[in-house]
């Protein structure tokens, strides 16, 4: 059976900003995140990303600029890179089925790899990440990086019994033990 993990992007793989990450120059990896992805790849995992990117719809950056950010990620990871990146350019008020916490991006990942994500891990830093994981019957993991601390401070009931780690590197270390 193929091992697959789904990662949120901003706040999990790269540093996040309430002002949005608007260029490849602003796209800076969270310490240890690139190495964590590389370890997963060496261990034979498929690594997929599901990321809300409303900055496109807001006019803060273009799809071409987003592509440059993702190319920077792929270059840093090296090798075969991340296996799949799904993004949703929509705002919450657009009510797009692709935008987290809706499950469209996860369904796209299932179709791409012809597998079910049920029981698989999704690593995120927001309530939307946790909610979409539960909606797809996945195992959510919250990291404290990005908006993770703010998410924890919300004390939302959806967080009950959700595993919490310092960062993606800590998640991967625990997973590969």
* Residues known to be catalytic: 8, 10
Distance CA 155, CA 133 (A): 18
Q: Give the CA angle between residues 110, 81, 176 to the nearest 5°.
A: 75
Burial of 43 (0-12, 13-18, 19+ CB in 10 A): exposed
* Beta pairing partners, 164: 142
User: Which burial class, exposed, middle or buried, applies to 124 when counting CB atoms under 10 A from its CB (0-12, 13-18, 19+)?
Assistant: buried
C-beta neighbour count of 110 within 10 angstroms: 18
């Amino acid at each position: 059976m193929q091992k697959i993990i789904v990662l949120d992007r901003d706040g999990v793989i790269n540093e996040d900003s309430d002002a949005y990450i608007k260029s490849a120059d602003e796209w800076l990896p969270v310490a240890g995140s690139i190495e964590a992805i590389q370890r997963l790849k060496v261990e034979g995992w498929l690594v997929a990303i599901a990321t809300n990117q409303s900055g496109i719809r807001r006019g803060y950056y273009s799809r071409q600029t987003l592509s440059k950010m993702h190319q920077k990620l792929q270059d840093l990871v090296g090798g075969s890179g991340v296996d799949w990146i799904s993004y949703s350019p929509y705002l919450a008020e657009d009510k797009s089925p692709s935008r987290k916490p809706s499950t469209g991006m996860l369904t796209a990942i299932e179709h791409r790899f012809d597998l079910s994500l049920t029981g698989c891990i999704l690593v995120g830093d927001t309530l939307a990440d946790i909610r979409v994981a539960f909606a797809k019957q996945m195992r959510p993991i919250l990291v404290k990086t990005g908006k993770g601390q703010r998410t924890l401070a919300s004390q939302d009931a959806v967080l009950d019994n959700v595993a919490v780690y310092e960062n993606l590197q800590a998640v991967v270390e625990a997973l590969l033990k």
